[in-house]
Chains A and B, each alone.
Chain A
């Protein structure tokens, strides 16, 4: 029998019981919509993580406090431990110094990194932002130009000078009437923390009364938004000033080490590990990672989430499939007489089987298509509402529709075979 006629018959049969078909397909629709939405949002999150990691700079090796590689004991996560000091950073700098000045060697730039969220006050306005404590190498690592003024140099770091280089957004919010060049020399007050961690929001409401005045010496070039994050909403100050005056702590969040090229990343990792192990008397209480390691670690958690949601979606598809089987069985019973007529008129068992199988597949595939549409629509809406990046995946759509068709085949086969095996005489007599 011809496929298109069979398909037409199947669609007509589904249309005859529109409400029932919709309800039956709902399981598949919800399952597929869940898969598509989950993959879209998951992909978006993954892309955001990758973009964020890539934006750190090229060929980076990051040294973090605490050993995250090994189990046992309480692990406080990246940035939580207190084992990394400014002296460690200095040691890395000096060990690579000679090679660096000669323009050879494997390390281009090193910068310690401390970060705290603080409230700042200037020009009668206030603004909350991230205060980064870094070294003069940091703009090199980020390949980030200073638009006007200058970045601070080593003497200012040595003196824990109260100087700041600000991003474009800071100027827009604190000096709305001034252009970047004329902001140089202006003073801003940064409110420090009572000694909280680098992840705190405002900490304990400020350590020093009235905050610490910093002089603006430079303005960074605008970088714009990267995956819905304003990259220009930053203030850079010397890490020494940050530790002494703002975050009031003795340890670093991270040390950024930039390798010369991709090939030297591994060597830099080994060298840094050896050096710090020696300095820490043989204990590896720090973590050395390159960007690939971080990407892997970050995406591992997204992947786990993806699998979990995938499992839920799978159960939903299974339940949807059982719903289809149930309705197909009902349909076969209801249409016993029709089956009898078709067989009396010369339909083979295989014709009847095909007819009901195609009906089940049409039902599940249509459910799949509607699910894809709902999933994409839903994830885009949720993305807009929540500000999440959304990236619908074509392969996920194809797999989802293919899988729902497979559900139709699997759960439609038994009812269809039951129909095909009916005896035409009995089927014709069926009331």
Chain B
């Protein structure tokens, strides 16, 4: 099976300012299907730049990037847009749902820009299916502002899935969530990964990175560590633990009240 991502010595140099900034200095990377990779690093380490290039939002200054066997370093703007639409799914830190647009319509959005024209009915079916995967089919008609943060992020995940992408890219997906909903969202990712979806996730939280199968650490534009996750967390287990702790706290509170 070919690698989903095959990066060979890519560099990114920004020379818009007075001094050229060498954000990524020769990263080589292969990501196979069904991998779940955490991309970590301090701010300024180049992880966002690498993520933008992985997401075909930006092109490397040097080096090659094969996404699903296609060399995307050579594509023009519109071809990149089509690749993003067909092969990639994005999940952002700030959810980035369209305001005053229902969850269902938000999920349908990538279908509007697809190469092939889809009937409204088919679009709806697919969007509903994806909402079902993230467990929100009963919230299809809700506007983003009627949903909790975790629910919004799950709508965003459903949107990322709607065009059946090769690769799911998540940029700090739990950055705006509390620890409990973070675990829930990571649970969704783990479930998707088990179903065979390749995921790359940027995070700076170590405990979140623990849900991934493999983690990379970037520093000053180079990969300084690349190894499988030890003691991987499983969302279901963590949630159960959390529930237990909560119940215990409640019992304790009840006990102290009784006393």
Using CB atoms and an 8 Å cutoff, list the residues of chain A in contact with chain B: 1-2, 5, 12, 16, 337-338, 340-351, 424-425, 428
Contacts and interface: CB of A to CB of B under 8 A. Distances in A.
Interface in B207-231: none
B250 interface: no
Most chain B CB within 10 A, of A16, A342, A344, A348, is at: A344
Given A2-B117, A346-B163, A348-B77, 9 more contacts: A337-B96, A341-B98, A344-B55, A345-B84, A345-B85, A345-B109, A346-B85, A351-B113, A425-B58
B98 A1 contact: no
Contacts of B86: 346
Q: Is the interface of A mostly helix, strand, loop or mixed?
A: helix
B78 to A, nearest CB: 5
Interface in B35-66: 52, 55, 57-58
A348 B113 contact: yes
B100 A424 contact: no
Contact of A348 (B81, B96, B98): B81
Most chain B CB within 10 A, of A2, A341, A346, is at: A346
B109 A344 contact: no
A1 B112 contact: yes
A344 B84 contact: yes
Most chain B CB within 10 A, of A2, A343, A424, is at: A424
Contact of B81 (A12, A340, A346): A346
A49 B98 CA distance: 59
Interface string B109-131: 11011100100000000000000
B154 interface: no
Contacts of B57: 344, 424-425, 428
B18 to A, nearest CB: 19
Nearest to A425: B57
A26 to B, nearest CB: 24
8 contacts: A12-B100, A340-B96, A341-B96, A345-B109, A347-B112, A348-B77, A349-B77, A428-B57
Given A341-B98, A425-B58, A428-B96, A2 B81 contact: no
Contacts of B82: 346
A5 B98 CA distance: 15
A428 B113 contact: no
Interface residues of B, number: 25
A337 B94 CA distance: 11
A428 B81 contact: no
Contacts of B77: 348-349
A186 B58 CA distance: 103
Nearest to A13: B100
B98 A338 contact: yes
Nearest to A349: B77
A322 to B, nearest CB: 28
Given A2-B117, A425-B57, A343 B81 contact: yes
Interface string B140-173: 0000000000000000000100010000000000
A346 B98 contact: no
B92 interface: yes
Contacts of A348: 77-78, 81, 113
B114 A346 contact: yes
A249 B100 CA distance: 82
Nearest to B52: A425
Contacts of A342: 109, 113
Contacts of A349: 77-78
Contacts of B189: none
Interface in B67-102: 77-78, 81-82, 84-86, 90, 92, 96-98, 100
Contacts of A12: 100
A347 B117 contact: no
Contacts of B52: 425
A349 B77 CA distance: 9
Given A5-B112, A345-B90, A348-B113, A16 B85 contact: no
Contacts of A5: 112
Contacts of A345: 84-85, 90, 109-110, 113, 159
Most chain B CB within 10 A, of A337, A340, A345, A350, is at: A345
A1 B55 contact: no
A363 B189 CA distance: 43
A349 B117 CA distance: 18
A12 B81 CA distance: 25
A87 to B, nearest CB: 86
B78 A2 contact: no
Nearest to A350: B78
A218 to B, nearest CB: 78
Nearest to A15: B100
Contacts of B85: 345-346
A16 B96 contact: no
A344 B58 contact: no
Which 4 pairs, one residue from A and one from B, show the smallest C-beta to C-beta distance? Answer: A346-B85, A346-B113, A345-B110, A347-B113
Nearest to A340: B96
A345 B159 CA distance: 9
Contacts of B55: 344
Nearest to B156: A341
B90 to A, nearest CB: 5
Contacts of B109: 341-342, 345
Contacts of B114: 346
Contacts of B90: 344-345
B56 to A, nearest CB: 9
B81 A347 contact: yes
Contacts of A343: 81
Nearest to A8: B105
